[in-house]
Structure 1
Amino acid sequence: MHISQDAVVTIDYRLTNDAGEVIDSSEHHGPLAYLHGHGNIIPGLEQALEGRGAGDTFKVSIAPALGYGERNPALTQTLPSSMFGGVDQIQVGMQFHAQTDHGIEVVTVTAVEGDQVTIDGNHPLAGQTLHFDVTVREVRAADAEELAHGHVHGEHGHHH
């Protein structure tokens, strides 16, 4: 079976940045299973997997537009620390859920200067070209429940 709409796909992968540094890998947390054509993974990787089959191994570089998008400076802002009520010590790298015009989004603290806190709502990999080494382990048809829920169930997938 080849990868196409509604296929459950299991892959091993290694993700590196332009400098060759490993950003993520299935080596430490097991293979990734996803439902093809349902937006479960970034568009560029999904496109690169289309038509491939179990045992295929390949490398692909994905531009920001088909990864996590370009960095948007409008998603970075500086706020008074009083906006973070209940947090004793705000530190760079902390993440918070923020209510925005687009719903709840995750923001990351990028700087703390006195009582001013800079947050960034961009995905940490926004603006980066992503380099994947991929091995397709398994391709199968999704079952009715997976299709109804829009994601994989069972081993290496989502569990309810």
Structure 2
Amino acid sequence: MQIAQNAVVAFHYTLTNEAGEVLDSSEGREPLAYLHGSGNIIPGLEKELAGRQSGDKLQVRVEPAEGYGEIQPALVQEVPRDAFQGVEEIQPGMQFQAQTEGGPLLVTVTKLEGDTVTVDGNHPLAGETLNFDVSIEEVREASPEEMEHGHVHGPDGHHH
């Protein structure tokens, strides 16, 4: 079966950046499963998997625009230290959920200077070209329930 709209796809992957550093991998875990055409994975990878089938191995290069997007400078902000009520110690790398006009946004602390904390709401991989080594393990038809819910359910059904 070829990968097409509403196919359930399970694949192993290794993700590296332009420098060749491994950013993520399914090695030692179950393959990643997704419902094709439902936006469950980044667009550039999903587009390259279309038409493939179980057993295929491929390398995919995804530019930022079809990955996690370009870096948006407006998502980097300086906020006063007292905006972090109840947090004793703030360190770069810590993540918080901020409430914005557009809803909740995960932000990462990037810098501390005195009473000023710089936070970044960009995805950590925004602006990065992503390189995937992919091995497609399984392609099957989605169940009516998976299609209705827009995502894959595990072997024991869904838990939501």
Please classify the TM superposition score into its range, dividing by the shorter chain length: over 0.9
Give the number of aligned pairs: 160
2 CA distance for matches of 1:66 and 1:101?
25
2:12 corresponds to: 12
Q: How does 1:78-97 map to 2 (within 5 A)?
A: 78-97=78-97
Question: Normalising by the residue count of structure 2, what TM-score does the alignment of the two structures yield?
Answer: 0.96
Q: How does 1:1-150 map to 2 (within 5 A)?
A: 1-150=1-150
Instruction: Say if 1:158 and 1:119 are closer, same or farther in 2 by CA, change over 3 A.
Output: farther
Dislocated runs of 4+, deviation >2 Å = 157-160
Shift of 1:144: 1.2
Residues 9, 140 of structure 1: 8 Å contact kept? yes
- 2:135 & 2:147 partners in 1: Cα distance? 24
In the alignment, residue 59 of structure 1 is paired with which amino acid? Q
Structure 1: how far apart are the matches of 2:159 and 2:134?
24
Q: Which runs of 5+ in 2 are unaligned?
A: none
2:153 is aligned to 153
CA contact (8 A) 1:17 1:129 kept: yes
* Structure 1 residue 142: Cα displacement: 0.5
TM-score, normalised to structure 1, is 0.96
Partners of 1:7 and 1:142 within 8 A in 2: yes
| Superposed CA RMSD | 1.5
Letter in 2 for 1:144: P
